[in-house]
Amino acid sequence: MFLIRVRATFEKCGRAKYISHLDLNRCMLRTFRRSRLPIWYTEGFNPHPYYSFALALSLGFESSCEILDFNLNEDIPFDEIKDKLNSVMPEGMRIIKVAEQKQKITAIAKAEYSFSLVSDDVDSLYADVNKLIASPEILIEKKTKKGIKTVDIKPDMEILTCNKTERSVDISMYLPAGTQTNYNPTLFIEALKKTTDTAFETENIRRTAILCADNTVFE
């Protein structure tokens, strides 16, 4: 059987950040049907279009690096695939790149996130953020299959930047992602809320890269 394995990178922002992962699956099914691309269907009693997302994205998060894998049963230029999908993608979603699948999903090890903490007292918040970052451990309560578990996220978290502006503390960080462990910035934010008396709001949480263990971009 002739099969082309395709990997598309897409952005999800604006109103699209409120599309849940379950609804995203339904949305993509409609998108493929409208695009009229020759997508490969699974075999068996209940054939359905094969496609999968590398990582689920939390509701309310934006992203410029989401990964969508699918198979085609005809050889079509990547630019044409990109154009056909973008012509029917919903508002806030856009295909950035289409290429062949080079690496297995198991190669994903971490993700890069950026976000802003907005406060009327930025100086105090900035001091508390740096205090938390410098602490020997950052303990959070995390839901697992076996119930609530106390986890130290400090060893698996890498702060890339932490800058103060007139209205916010802007942070970017690496967090583990993939088939074994998945963290997102809300864990750090919840830990900060427990250690600061300074009121703040979180804005613009965005996944900016999906990476392998050596910090190279997953492809």
CATH number for 39: 3.30.70.580
Q: How far apart are CA 137 and CA 116, in angstroms?
A: 22
Single residue among 102, 136, 155 that ends a domain in this structure:
102
- C-beta atoms surrounding 57 within 10 Å: 22
Note whether 76 and 37 are same-domain residues: yes
Note whether 118 and 203 are same-domain residues: yes
pLDDT, tens digit (0-9, with 9 covering 90-100), for 73-94: 999 999 999 999 999 999 999 9
Residue 124: its H or E element: helix 122-134
Quick one: pLDDT band at residue 3, thresholds 50, 70, 90?
confident
Task: Calculate the CA 175 to chain-centre distance.
Answer: 11
Q: Please tell me the total count of domains within the chain.
A: 2
Note whether 96 and 188 are same-domain residues: no
**Amino acid 48: pLDDT:** 82
pTM score, whole prediction:
0.92
Give the range of the structural domain holding residue 21, as residue numbers without chain letter.
4-102
Note whether 136 and 42 are same-domain residues: no
Single residue among 102, 133, 150 that ends a domain in this structure:
102
User: How many residues can be counted in the chain?
Assistant: 219
Q: How far apart are CA 180 and CA 219, in angstroms?
A: 19
Note whether 117 and 168 are same-domain residues: yes
**Amino acid 1: pLDDT:** 61
Q: Which residue has the tokens 């922002």?
A: 13
